[in-house]
Structure 1
């Protein structure tokens, strides 16, 4: 729940900012009251914490006294070709509690596993997903660009349903990372949960786009959800380098980053009724975990790729983390 102090601070800040901008007490009061009513009327309540905890900390697979869950990023893209059945099986074999899988769509509207909107980076094919039918995607080698391509040669791009059935068989928690397409994704996932009700207690829907999560809660308010966030993502790349060469554009996007970060931490999480907040690992601290814990939200860190980091998140911070490899240290992943 949003703390009383939070609400007072939030709407006080909004009131002051609007007053400075409009110099009209009447308009300021009206606009602040409108924001309050909007959040109050259209927000979704969080799912019961007991069920959220069942998803985030399943009895089997979690490690340590705090039951920290280790989630394989894109199925564990360092250990096997990402977003494939092979990666799901390898993740299970190597001790993962769950897998994070990326949802995209073929040209004929079939939900599949793919991170990018093209097939170029991971397969022996080329072109945007929006122009490739499922039958065409089925002919591609999803291991073609992987470092272990000889071991996994011929691995296919799976449909979402194929991947989920394998996760259920292996008793893995699923983190569905939705890249976009809010309406299509919500419809596809709603049908999937109806077909496999076990997912209500063994999966979570995540996205960088708040609209995706809000639409998912509209479609099925019983689904456990999370927002994903990396501060400064609009103005900077993952390694901190400026995203734009134009100083004007860089400064403008920096302001947008500040507004987006504020919205995530004060409005969007409450509006969507999330149960977890997936945050880039460099921004996690004990204070940050406490901030979200007071709001009934759990922190999940990504992407944690060295043994030293894993021990830090597991033993000191005691929060779930997402990793590219269950076996060895690998390159940073932003």
Structure 2
């Protein structure tokens, strides 16, 4: 839950902003109370801390290295080969991207098209599973010959492999909140071990809220990168239009505030996945006071890994378990 100081700060800020905008004490009071009642009625409680510890810190490990997209530098991303390489290289878990084929089958894929990672071309929304099975998922990988013929796996295949290898799964859901919640709920029913060995994450709060509605026992996390609306992962502005860039920058400020003061509480998340550049001891402590664990991404150098492992003692997501590499966007 939010601490008392958070409650006072949140509602005081809302009160002042609405008062400045409306100049009406009555409407200001009504809107502020409405926000309080909304959060009180519709928020989800956090999953018990003991189970969160099982998921985020399996065994006796204080810090877990999680392979981003299965470890997209060490093997073709989001493939069975990547999952196996991650286990071999000492990962405690794997982050896997959930998407859907045109015929509604949940699969592993980061993008909305197959162009970047395979020898095919076109949007997933127009490709059935039978079409996707014909593609080489290692075609664009730097060591394509070593992994030639690797296929795009279904979510079910990937989960079974992770369970067999005793890897914690970070399900990264890109969108499709209703479809994703339904598919994951069915998966948790079929494999109850996932309640203690997986976490559902998303940049979209609607996805997490829908997941908690479908199954409130699932451990969840919000993923966030400040300035994500106005800038790409490498910091380059998304929009050439100056006015649009400034408008989206303002929206970034609002979104960041909402993540840290409203959305995490509404969804009842247990972890907060944040881009590494914004993590500090104070930031980790900020979330620890709220019963939320920080997971940093994407941590790709030996020096950074030692910092997170030794000083911060928080889990981190990495593109490679074996060497330094550039981030995979």
TM-score of Structure 1 vs Structure 2, range by shorter chain: over 0.9
Q: Is the 8 A contact 2:46 2:268 kept in 1?
A: yes
Q: State whether residues 72 and 328 of structure 2, in contact with CA within 8 Å, keep that contact through their aligned partners in structure 1.
A: no
CA distance in 1, matches of 2:146, 2:233: 30
Q: Determine if the alignment matches structure 1 residue 213 to structure 2 residue 208.
A: yes
Looking at structure 2, the residues matched to 223 and 99 of structure 1 have their Cα atoms a distance apart, in angstroms, of 17
Does structure 1 retain, via aligned residues, the 8 Å contact 2:96–2:170? yes
- SS of 2:102's partner is coil
Matched residues in 1 for 2:143 and 2:175: separation? 29
Q: Could you tell me which residue of structure 2 aligns to residue 230 of structure 1?
A: 225
Aligned positions, number:
329
Aligned to 2:46: 46
* Corresponding position of 1:156: 151
Cα distance per residue 1:129-171 (max 9 Å; x no partner): 0000000000000000000100000000000000000000000
Q: Give the Cα–Cα distance (whole angstroms) in 2 for the partners of residues 152 and 288 of structure 1.
A: 40
**In structure 1, C-alpha distance between the alignment counterparts of 2:242 and 2:70, rounded to whole Å:** 38
- Aligned counterpart, 2:139: 144
CA distance in 1, matches of 2:151, 2:237: 36
Distance 1:74 1:211 in 2: 22
Which digits, 9 at most, give the CA deviation of each residue in 1:43-101, with x for residues without a partner? 000000000111000006x3xxxx10000000000000000000000000000000000
* Residue 79 (structure 2) aligns with: 84
**Aligned twin of 1:199:** 194
For 2:121 and 2:288, locate their aligned partners in 1 and report how far apart those are by CA, in whole Å: 44
* Displacement of 1:239: 2.1
Residue 17 (structure 1) aligns with? 17
**In structure 1, C-alpha distance between the alignment counterparts of 2:113 and 2:84, rounded to whole Å:** 24
Q: Following the alignment from structure 1 to structure 2, what is the Cα–Cα distance between the partners of residues 275 and 27?
A: 34
Shift of 1:42: 0.1
Check conservation: 2:299, 2:318, Cα contact below 8 A.
yes
Distance 2:326 2:247 in 1: 31
Gaps of 5+ in 2: none
Determine if the alignment matches structure 1 residue 119 to structure 2 residue 122. Answer: no
Q: CA offset at residue 332 of structure 1?
A: 2.7
Q: TM-score if structure 2 supplies the norm length? A: 0.99
State the shift of 1:303 in Å: 0.2
1:66-81 matches, within 5 Å, as 67-81=62-76
Distance between the aligned counterparts of 1:80 and 1:53, measured in 2?
29
- 1:199-236 Cα shifts (integer Å, max 9, x gaps): 00000000000000000000000000000000000011
Aligned position for 1:264:
259
Match of 2:246 in 1: 251
How far did 1:333 drift? 3.7
Question: Matched residues in 1 for 2:192 and 2:16: separation?
Answer: 47
> For residue 35 of structure 1, what is the aligned residue in structure 2?
35
Determine if contact 2:270/2:291 at 8 Å carries over to the other structure. Answer: yes
What per-residue deviation string (whole Å, max 9, x for no partner) do you get for residues 113-142 of structure 1? 000000000000000000000000000000
For 1:136 and 1:20, locate their aligned partners in 2 and report how far apart those are by CA, in whole Å.
57
Deviation for aligned residue 1:246: 1.1
The Cα RMSD (Å) is 0.7
Aligned residue in 1 for 2:56 = 56
SS of the residue 1:121 aligns to: coil
Distance 2:47 2:319 in 1: 29
Deviation digits for residues 233-292 of structure 1, max 9, x if unmatched? Answer: 001122222211111001100110000000000000000000000000000000000000
Counterparts of 1:198 and 1:326 in 2: how far apart (Å)?
A: 25
SS of 1:167's equivalent in the other structure is: helix
Q: How far, CA to CA, are the matches of 2:248 and 2:23 in structure 1? A: 27
**How does 1:273-312 map onto structure 2 within 5 Å?**
273-312=268-307
Q: Which stretches of structure 1, 4 residues or more, deviate above 2 A after TM superposition?
A: none
